[in-house]
A and B are shown apart, each in its own frame.
Chain A
Amino acid sequence: MGTAATLLGIVAILFLATDTSAGGAVRVVITAFAIGCVFVPAAIAVGSVWLRGHNRRRESDAGAAPLSDRAVRVQQLLGRAAVRLAPDERADVHARAALGDEFRIAESTVRGLPPDEMLGFLWVARPSQPDGFPSSAEFAGLPDRVQDMIVLLDLRREAQLRGAEAALRTTSGVYHHDRARTLAAARRTDNAALLAQIETPHPRTDDLLAALDDSATWERLLRGDS
């Protein structure tokens, strides 16, 4: 669509240049249209990039208030418009940025999710978060229950990839959270088997995974019952 806009703009300019019989009002309209075709797609692209950067900066600032619904919606709209109006070479850059927005875990992306979709979203999007996500302002800005969910999902991933011992003892890695944080999340779940596996000196991978897969625990986390 970006190419189409450019072509229409060129047609309008050629028309203005060659056809002198059109009256004054018609020329004004066509001129405005030509200027629009040239500048509006670029303005939307610039606006989209600026607003995305602005919103992300605000969300990375640990002290700032959460983004307003309007800021989130405008960013989405501008992002989609930028993808549709970009010239073909730039279209995939904008599409990649828009897709990155969709799979970013932060308070503004999580706030609208119903419980049924929350778990799936967190599971699929988590490996795509930037390094250092567990200590980032975006993570800290999430509601406490969502943070707990991420801590437990990450523990499950680590246990599956590296085994329970490594998952609970390691001090670094993409999915690593502090032991204190993990314990706090486990205590809040009221899942005795899970707490036992985390605190025992010799955790077993099968038992840890079974404890983490307890559906009652996840029901409580997702539905928010205390």
Chain B
Amino acid sequence: MPDHAALAASLTTPEAFLALTDESGVFGVKKSAKAALEIWNQADARYVGVYRGFPAPGGKGTGFVIRTYWDPARVSPDLDAVEVAIQTALPVALTQADEKVTWKARNNKQASFFAWRISQQQALSLWFQERFGISACATQLFDRADIHQDVAVVATSGGVDNLWSFTSKG
């Protein structure tokens, strides 16, 4: 497992963000990195933790992905149980409703970094909080990376989590 605390400590310049991202070739990424540093510095609470994306039923096209994220220092969920819950117990209507909410709330100005804004009161996230102590949101599956990434950078301001995820190297 990557050293999450060390990663958190290293996020002090836009270059640090650029070095970690999976999407370093995206147009406008340097500007996004500066904005990302702002969001990170101004957050009420922040941590670097674990991200896991799970494909979920009920979507069209590429389907849904449930983006789960948590601070490993506080909770260690059983990922098998999470997988089973998503495949059998998670109501599809909840996923579909959350996907709409998450999409509308997204940060349009960020090409990369902190694109997802998840309210801590969103029903899907509360569903996972109650059962596993992790936060979650539902979006379309945009990229294979949505499933393979494993690090979550979370900056919370005013009850809203700004989520950025990437793949740890080594």
Q: Which applies to chain B's interface (DSSP): helix, strand, loop or mixed?
A: helix
Residue of A with least CB distance to B92: A96
Cα–Cα, bound, A99→B86 (Å) = 11
In contact, A130 and B89 (Cβ under 8 angstroms): yes
Known: A161-B133, A174-B131. A123 touches B88 (CB 8 A): no
A contact residues, range: 10 to 19
Cα–Cα, bound, A128→B81 (Å) = 8
Q: Which of B74-117 contact A (CB under 8 A)?
A: 75, 78, 80-82, 84-85, 87-89
Q: Which of B81, B82, B87, B131 contacts A96 (CB 8 A)?
A: B87
Q: A126 interface residue, CB < 8 Å from B? A: yes
Q: A100 interface residue, CB < 8 Å from B? A: yes
Q: B143 interface residue, CB < 8 Å from A? A: no
In contact, A96 and B84 (Cβ under 8 angstroms): no
Question: Which residues does chain A contribute within 8 Å of B82, judged by CB atoms?
Answer: 127
| Residue picked from B75, B80, B87, B89, most chain A C-beta under 10 Å | B89
Known: A123-B78, A126-B81, A127-B81. A96 touches B130 (CB 8 A): no
Q: Which of A135-181 contact B (CB under 8 A)?
A: 160-161, 173-174
Cα–Cα, bound, A96→B88 (Å) = 6
In contact, B88 and A100 (Cβ under 8 angstroms): yes
Question: Which residues does chain B contribute within 8 Å of A99, judged by CB atoms?
Answer: 84, 87-88
Q: Which of B75, B89, B130 contacts A128 (CB 8 A)?
A: B89
In contact, B89 and A124 (Cβ under 8 angstroms): no
Question: Which residues does chain A contribute within 8 Å of B84, judged by CB atoms?
Answer: 99, 103, 124-125, 127-128
A residues with CB within 8 A of B: 92, 96, 99-100, 103, 123-130, 160-161, 173-174
| Residue picked from A92, A128, A129, A173, most chain B C-beta under 10 Å | A128
Q: Which of B120-154 contact A (CB under 8 A)?
A: 130-133
Q: B14 interface residue, CB < 8 Å from A? A: no
In contact, A160 and B89 (Cβ under 8 angstroms): no
Cα–Cα, bound, A173→B126 (Å) = 12
Residue of A with least CB distance to B82: A127
In contact, B57 and A127 (Cβ under 8 angstroms): no
Cα–Cα, bound, A173→B133 (Å) = 13
In contact, A127 and B88 (Cβ under 8 angstroms): no
| 9 intermolecular pairs with C-beta atoms under 8 Å apart | A92-B57, A124-B81, A127-B85, A127-B131, A128-B88, A128-B89, A160-B75, A160-B133, A173-B130
